[in-house]
Amino acid sequence: MILLLGGCAEKPQEKVFRVGMMSGAEAFIHIADGFKERMNELGYIEGKNIFFDLQDSGPEEVQQVAKKFVEDKVDLIFAFPTEPSVAAKAAAKDTNIPVVFSLAGIEGTDLVESLQHPGDHITGVRFPAPESTVKRLEFLHEIVPDAKRVWIIYDPNYPLAGPSLAMLRPASISLGITLVETPIAGIEDIRQILSDKARSGKIDVDAIFIMPEVLTQTPECFGEIMAFANKHKILIGGAMDYTTDLGAVFNQAPDVIEMGRLAAVLADKIFKGTPAGSIPVVTPELYLRLNYKKAQELGLEVPEGLMALAREIIR
């Protein structure tokens, strides 16, 4: 007697992936939305074959969150921006857990060996801070060509500050701009510096330029800087999108949803067997946004070339 058992064979069980997601700043939380959206398009259905654990943590908590994900033995850690990415790499160093980062600076950190071969167990989508910082200063010069003294208030301990300044200083000389550098350690420093300058009556700067670091872009700190700029009718050259929404005349930055979507493609490659460290780091496109309404309030003429270049104009 021949028994036909082929129809009784069990189907192989579908792999279920668990992703630990580390967000280090509320302003960038939509990166997670872009990541989930693209993963869904690639066939990863949340609650079916993939589960996400999103943890929004401040600088003091990122190491603890990264350690928890390692202890939970997740299949991948997705981290953004720079600080969570660095913490995730360190926590997963002696494991086989891959890390994908987004909106993280690779300059001034040891995140990757190189763009083409990030090495270890990590890859991601970088934030091109130094080159974008130089380009933003060029935009500022186009909008305010008579600006000779540009004020930069920044946290010197932030990893991207040093590499960005190294490129910004020679660029400022070529543009005929003097950078008025003011290092700070916290919001109280900002308040004191702005108060002293206002009280002295010697503003002595023609524009304010936001550096690619976190401290001056927190709601509290940027609010203080913006209030000062409004009172004294000074242009602010912003960094990320929300700085333009809050009153900076312009910014140039990646699209945060796109940053998540690009990272999802890398995660998919990893889940399909490609070692993370062999996948080249992605550099995203940068987009110019103009706050034309603010420029008009300041009596500034925005060149037609910049208007044509802008992805979005706030009127």
What domains are there in the chain, each with its CATH number? 15-127+254-284 (3.40.50.2300), 129-253+288-314 (3.40.50.2300)
pLDDT value for 2:
45
Q: Answer whether 260's CB lies under 8 Å from 35's CB.
A: yes
Cα–Cα nearest to 34, from 57, 14, 52: 52
Sign of CA dihedral 17, 23, 29, 35: negative
Count of CB atoms situated within 10 Å of the CB of 42: 14
Count of CB atoms situated within 10 Å of the CB of 200: 9
The residue type found at 87 is: A
Count of CB atoms situated within 10 Å of the CB of 296: 13
**What is the 8-class DSSP label of residue 120?**
T
d(CA 236, CA 223): 12
What are the beta bridge partners of residue 21?
Answer: 54, 78
Q: Length of the chain in residues, anyone?
A: 315
- For helices 129-143 and 161-174, the axis angle rounded to 10 degrees is 40
How would you write the pLDDT of the chain (315 residues) with one tens digit per residue?
444 444 545 556 789 999 999 998 888 999 999 999 999 999 999 999 999 999 998 777 999 999 999 999 999 999 999 999 999 999 999 999 999 999 999 998 999 999 999 999 999 999 999 999 999 999 999 999 999 999 999 999 988 999 999 999 999 999 999 999 999 999 999 999 999 999 998 999 999 999 999 899 888 999 999 999 999 999 999 999 999 999 999 999 999 999 999 999 999 999 999 999 999 999 999 999 999 999 999 999 999 999 999 999 999
d(CA 33, CA 36): 5
pLDDT value for 10:
58
Q: How far is CA 27 from CA 23, 65, 101, 105, 241, in A?
A: 9, 19, 16, 17, 9
Q: Answer whether 153's CB lies under 8 Å from 190's CB.
A: yes
**What is the 8-class DSSP label of residue 14?**
P
What are the beta bridge partners of residue 78?
Answer: 21, 100
Q: What is the pTM of this model?
A: 0.90
